[in-house]
Amino acid sequence: MAFSLGGILAVLLETFRPLLPFFIGLVAVDVLATAYGLHRGSFGHAKARRWALIIGVAAMVVAFVSGPMLTQSTFADFSRIIDWVLLAGMSLGVGVAGFILSLPLASLLK
Amino acid sequence: MSQQSKSTRINPGRRKFLQASGLGLAATAGGGVLTSPSSHAAVQTSAHIVIVGAGAAGLDAANRLSRELNGAKITIIDSRVEHIYQPGLTLVATGIWKPQKVMDQNARYMPDGVDWIQARVAEFDPSANAVVTDAGQRINYDYLMVTTGLQVNYDAVEGMSPDLIGQMGIGCVYDKPDYAARTWAMIDQYTDQGGVGLFTRAQGPVKCAGAPLKVTMLTEDLFERKGTRDRGEMYYTPPGQKLFSQPDINEFLKEELPSRGITLQWDHPLVGIEPELKRATFATPNGNERIDYDFIHVVPPMQSPEPLANSELAWQSGSFAAGHWMEVDQYTLQHPRFTNVFGSGDCVGTPIGKTAASVKAQVPVAVSNLVSSIANREFAARYTGYTSCPLVTRKGEAILVEFDYALDMVPSFPFINPHEKHWFPWMLKDRMLHSAYNAMLRGRV
């Protein structure tokens, strides 16, 4: 059964619905921080990118390591290459999200 | 018994806020594509559509119809306030999930502007285009969507009663989180103490036909995890010569279960239990056979709910007449004799179905064809028989089985092999399918 993009987004929305207030708050803070950074001309400076990258990589590693635990399983249950590839892909997604969401706040650092 | 029915018109205020906040997130990711899943503009009509049942199929249908019709009066009839995520019951019954995880509220998914009559339908009168509630209220309709779900016939197993679940070694995964939780108490005890375990499967169509197999394999896995496997003597007792309708999976299971020390007892339909003696009776081709047990997983026969079974909407002949399933064309989901009546979900008599995944595939078809009927259009949607079962073989391992009427595998994700057990399908079952189910209730997948 094919899933449409709308369907996939709807599933993601349901997955994160309990955390929606947190995400909305975080995005709002990010928007404000981005606007402030752009106004000051300091958005995305080198130090901010470095910190955001560190946070993104940390988020990716945590997601990778805790992925099996969050599903009440262990790496011993990974019996196919595709399991590793998909976990790596999901962790990369978490890492990218961590980078994007932390960059505006990191830009506030001097 | 008469019961006062309560009619509720859903207040859009809070929901509008939640939708707005949800759409904000979605718009961030994908340009707000959630707002228009239908390929057609809403059809203008003053028709009155009655939906009987606010389970998965009923809520999905209500949400879709409310978006695809403009000006229609939509009424949904169901006395149940709580909503149960039934695909999670196997995980509750095997101690992996807490019962609270499968509990929800129907009100969270009711679309705006729908009249919710909190009563049960006691009578279907399709010749007069009407249903009658248990409070005596007669409700006329122009179109009817039947999504009642099904009825578990505990009485069909002599000596069995739902009150026995959780006592004297008796479990049953179906119907209610409470039953699943009580089943877990019995399985937990059984995997500590061991003894003879009988894992039954009723004759005829049952909801989530993979559930009895999953309970069996997860119990065996639990024995292994506890280090008590040598204490348990496990038997799986199908009523015929088959374990699963999809042939590849049937062959897989015929090897998998014996390889894990689970003995297959073919042609063993359960017909009775003697709870005090812990003894089960099976009507085998060689006559009744009695087997003593320490734990038994009872899967009673199932049928459509009595008001539907006793109505003209039920199959009058053929293989589906035994369970009094609702008669529908298996492709259009339209009733062949009452053409303003459509059905979907567990109550319909189709060759494949009775899973949440079937609901996901059936409801868009039934709704599309109902809307086409209102708009005098040709039916464009056909149900292919799609169903899916994340066949959990152990905690942390599953096979994502998806197939159709032809029993061909129809995988949604080309990168997942439907013949191999591994972690990713387990992750879907444990983490993602509940979200997909909730999105389905909102008519979004």
Give the architecture (CATH level 2) of B11-152+303-388+434-441: 3-Layer(bba) Sandwich (3.50)
pLDDT attached to residue B8: 64
**Most confidently modeled range among B22-26, B105-109, B412-416:** B105-109
In the prediction, which pLDDT does B67 show? 96
Between the alpha carbon of residue B44 and those of residues B70, B175, B369, the distances in Å are 5, 39, 15
Please give the average per-residue pLDDT across B162-190, as a whole number: 97
User: Would you say B208 and B390 are in contact if contact means Cβ atoms under 8 Å apart?
Assistant: no
pTM: predicted TM-score of the whole model, two decimal places = 0.90
Structure tokens that stand for A108 in this block = 């506030």
Quote the CA–CA distance of B70 and A23 in Å, as a whole number.
Answer: 34
Closest CA of chain B from A59, distance in Å: 19
> Rg of chain A's alpha carbons, rounded to an integer?
17
pLDDT for res B32:
31
Confidence check: pLDDT of B27 > 60: no
pLDDT at residue B377 above 80? yes
Cβ distance of A71 and B396 shorter than 8 Å: yes
> Does B389 qualify as catalytic in the annotation?
yes
Contact indicator for B33, B26 with CB cutoff of 8 Å: yes
- Which pLDDT score, from 0 to 100, does residue A110 have? 74
- Is the CB of residue A63 less than 8 Å from the CB of residue A95? yes
Whether the predicted pLDDT of B79 surpasses 60? yes
Active site residue B172: no
Distance, in angstroms, between B55 CA and closest chain A CA?
18
- Does B432 contact A11 at a Cβ distance shorter than 8 Å? yes
* pLDDT recorded at residue B384: 97
Interface-testing mutation among A77, A85, A91, A100, with chain B (most B C-beta atoms within 10 A): A77
Inform me whether the pLDDT recorded for B29 exceeds 70: no
Strand order in the sheet with B48-52: B6-9, B115-118, B73-77, B48-52, B143-146, B341-343
Average pLDDT for B219-224: 98
Residues 6+ apart with CB under 8 A from B262: B199, B216, B217, B220, B234, B235, B236
Q: Where are the domains of chain B?
A: 11-152+303-388+434-441, 159-302
pLDDT lower than 70: segments of chain A: 1-3
The pLDDT score that the predictor gives to residue A68 is: 94
* Residue B157, C-beta contacts closer than 8 angstroms, at least 6 positions apart: B270, B271, B272, B273, B298, B300, B301
pLDDT band at B37 (very low <50, low <70, confident <90, very high): very low
Superfamily of domain B159-302: FAD/NAD(P)-binding domain (3.50.50.60)
Structure tokens at B213: 């197999």
Is the pLDDT assigned to residue B425 strictly greater than 50?
Answer: yes
What percentage of chain B reaches a pLDDT higher than 90? Answer: 89
Q: Under an 8 A CB cutoff, do A83 and B29 touch?
A: no
Contact A79, B422 (CB under 8 A): yes
The verdict on a CB contact (< 8 Å) between A80 and B422 is: yes
Domain locations along chain A: 20-107
Which pLDDT band holds residue B22 (cuts at 50, 70, 90)? very low
> How many percent of chain B have pLDDT more than 70?
91
Global ipTM:
0.88
What is the model's pLDDT at position B240? Answer: 97
Report the pLDDT value the prediction gives residue B15, as an integer from 0 to 100.
Answer: 43
pLDDT for A5: 86
Residue A7: the pLDDT is 87
Q: Between chains, do B430 and A2 touch, taking CB under 8 Å as contact? A: no
**Range 36-95 of A in CB contact (< 8 A) with B:** 67-68, 70-74, 76-80, 82-83, 86
CB contacts < 8 A, A to B, total 121
How far A83 CA sits from the closest chain B CA (Å)?
A: 6
Residues B96-154: tens digit of each pLDDT: 999 999 999 999 999 999 999 999 999 999 999 999 999 999 999 999 999 999 999 99
| Cα–Cα distances in angstroms (integers) from residue A91 to residues A63, B49, B185, in the given order | 5, 46, 36
At residue B11, the pLDDT reads 52
Q: Give B250-289 pLDDT, tens digit per residue.
A: 999 999 999 999 999 999 999 999 999 999 999 999 999 9
